[in-house]
Amino acid sequence: MDLDAEHLVHYLVERGLLDLSEVVDGGLMVAESSRRHRSFRVLRPRGGGLFVKQVRQPDAETVTTFQREGACYWLAANDAAFAPLRDLMPRFLDYDKERLALVTDLLPQAEDLTRLHQRLGTFPTELAGQLGEALGSFQAAMAVEGFDPRYSAFFPRALPWPLICRRVSVETFSRHGAEAGAVVSAIHADPVLAQSLDALAEEYRPGTLIHGDIKWDNLLSHPNGSPEHSCLKL
C-alpha cells in the first residue's frame, strides 16, 4: 500500500503509533515533503511529532538500501552492540517491512544541510566540526567483530565506491548525477591517482561500520536548547 497524506493517520493508528483519541480530538497536521522517497511530517497538538518515510520506487537497489536503513534503526534501538548509534540518529519508532515504511521521532525545527545552506548562504564551521565528530564516533564505536553473525547480510562489507570507480564505467556513475560522473572522469584521467586507489583497495579491510550514503540531504540540524546551539543527526 502506498501511503498518502489522506490515509496516513489511519495507518499510524493501525500501527499503534497514534492514539485514536488524538484523531477524534483533532489538531493533527500531516505535511508531505517527498523527494526520493515518500516523506511525511505528522505534527501533534500535544507535541512529539512523527516522521514517516516510505519507498517510492521499489527497484532492487532502492529496496536493499532502505531495508539496510530500517535494520540499522531497529538494531540501534534493540541491540546493545549498536547502542552507540542511538545518540546520532532520530529515535526509532517503527519499521514496516511489508510496506517498506520507517517511522522515527520528528526532530523539532530540523532542516537538512542542503536547506540550511540555501537559507544561510554558507556552511557553519561549528556544524562541520559536529559532522566530523559524529562520523568519527560512529566508526570508532562500531567494530564489526562485536556484531551478531545473523546481521551480516545487512552489511555486505563492500568496498567504498572511490576505491572501485576505476573498474566501473563513467556512464554507470553518471546515472547518479552529472557531478558523480565528473568526479569519476577525473579519476579515470589521472593514472597516478587511479593506481593509488587500486593499491588502497587491495589493502582495505572492513573493520567497522561506515555511513554509506553521506550527503547533505541525509544530515539534519536542529536546535539544541536554543537557536544559537544546533545539534546534528545522521
Q: Where are the domains of the chain?
A: 8-106, 115-203
Residue 145 pLDDT exceeds 70: no
Residue 34 pLDDT exceeds 80: no
* 146-173 confidence digits (pLDDT tens): 667 777 777 777 788 788 887 777 777 7
pLDDT given at position 134: 81
Hey, how many other C-beta atoms are within 10 angstroms of the C-beta on 124? 14
pLDDT given at position 226: 45
Nearest residue to 214 via CA among 121, 122, 136, 148: 136
Across the chain, mean pLDDT equals 84
Q: Are 54 and 38 in contact (CB under 8 A)?
A: yes
Q: Are 185 and 71 in contact (CB under 8 A)?
A: no
In this prediction, residues 77-82 reach a mean pLDDT of: 88
Q: Are 105 and 93 in contact (CB under 8 A)?
A: yes
* 82-99 confidence digits (pLDDT tens): 888 888 889 999 999 999
Which is more confidently placed, 126 or 104? Answer: 104
Q: Are 188 and 170 in contact (CB under 8 A)?
A: yes
Q: Which residues pair with 42 in a beta bridge?
A: 30, 50
Residues in Cβ contact with 21 at an 8 Å cutoff, skipping those fewer than 6 apart = none
Which is more confidently placed, 66 or 143? Answer: 66
Q: Give CATH superfamily name and number for 8-106.
A: Phosphorylase Kinase; domain 1 (3.30.200.20)
